[in-house]
Structure 1
Amino acid sequence: MIKLLVAVDGSDSSLWAVRHAAFLYREGSISQIVLLNVQAPIEHGRASAYHSLAELRERERNEGEAALARAGEILDDSAVDYVAQIGIGAPANTILNAAQACQCDGIVLGLSAWARVLALAGAGTPARVMRRSRVPVTLVNAPHAQLPSEFTVHRPSTSHAHPALVVYPSASLPRRVDRLAH
């Protein structure tokens, strides 16, 4: 069956991508979902002078878990088989490397209004992922209206394991060089 990677940053647009993937799961189109949150590496900044690498990784893990929490609730409510991961690195590269490492058959990304503007210019994470991906990429256009709070279903937390913190090496994808044919 098909396995999808859904990139989640905690935004409403990424949650609409999660809802789309949950719908596909309920319809029987896919067998598993890989939730991925990408954290920018903070060990190269000033924080590394004041904190150990373990403390920085713990902060990245906490921020990643916070971003994945609502997405996990949506999938738990739909009884979806999923795994959650927190990747460290540049967003587009990490998404592509995670999709390859997890042997995903597709990638689902949520589009915010700003991401749509950047995509028109050929920039932004969704455009980079689409250009370099070896698997199909689905972009989910988030509606502008917010769902009223009475439509959300609150259930007790489940026994899903904590997301794995994974650093994907950026060298695993070969660079492609397009040459002009003469």
Structure 2
Amino acid sequence: MKILLAADGSEHSLRAAQHVINAVSGCERHEVVLLNVQAPIDAPEIRSHMKASEIEAMQETHGGDALAPVREVLDAAGVPYTPVVLIGPVAETIVQFAADQGCDKIVMGTRGLGALGSALLGSVSQEVLGLTHLPVTLVK
């Protein structure tokens, strides 16, 4: 089983990681891909002061920072994983990456760190549900 664990560093992401740990314990064949997607930055005030490569490097750093707490949980449980940070429209990128990687399911928190994400039932998680044919497990 190949599981895509989409994480943003929120408490919901940590609980999703714990769900994955429980799901793979005792399972001999499993693969976990840990993914953070950074939304593209198109703000002219930023683009006019930074090169595209600098913006991308900054976003990759933010993505790595967001994955750090989830990596700690997975490491402590002894669950191997492959960390990936991508830049793109968040829900679409999660779904496309899961398909491209041949994942069997997607696991993610119901809400993320964004203000809008905390106000609604995770707009990204709702969008992922609508875009993918894969089973999706949402963790509160």
TM-score (structure 1 length as normaliser): 0.69
User: 1:30, CA displacement in angstroms?
Assistant: 5.7
Give deviations 1:97-134, integer Å, cap 9, x for gaps.
11011110000111239758734xxx711111112211
2:83 is the counterpart of 1:81: no
Unmatched runs of 5 consecutive residues or more in structure 2: none
Larger RCO: 1 or 2 (CA < 8 Å, sep 6+): 2
2:95 is the counterpart of 1:93: no
- The letter for the 2-side match of 1:59 is M
The answer on whether the counterparts of 1:24 and 1:30 sit within 8 Å (CA) in structure 2 is no
CA distance 1:19–1:117, change in 2 (3 Å): same
The answer on whether the counterparts of 1:4 and 1:30 sit within 8 Å (CA) in structure 2 is no
Matched residue SS, 2:14: helix
- What is residue 7 of structure 2 aligned with on the other side? 8
**Which structure has more helix as a fraction of its residues?**
2
Q: Report 1:126-141 matches (<5 A).
A: 126-141=125-140
- The letter for the 2-side match of 1:135 is L
Aligned residues: 136
CA distance 1:100–1:45, change in 2 (3 Å): same
Matched residue SS, 1:50: coil
TM-score (structure 2 length as normaliser): 0.88
- What is residue 120 of structure 2 aligned with on the other side? 118
Q: Distance in 2 between matches of 1:73 and 1:99?
A: 22
Q: Report 1:5-154 matches (<5 A).
A: 5-28=4-27, 31-42=30-41, 44-46=42-44, 47-112=46-111, 118-119=120-121, 124-141=123-140
Matched residue SS, 2:48: helix
Matched residue SS, 1:41: coil
Unmatched runs of 5 consecutive residues or more in structure 1: 142-182
- The letter for the 2-side match of 1:80 is V
Percent of pairs with identical residues: 35
Give RMSD over aligned pairs: 2.0
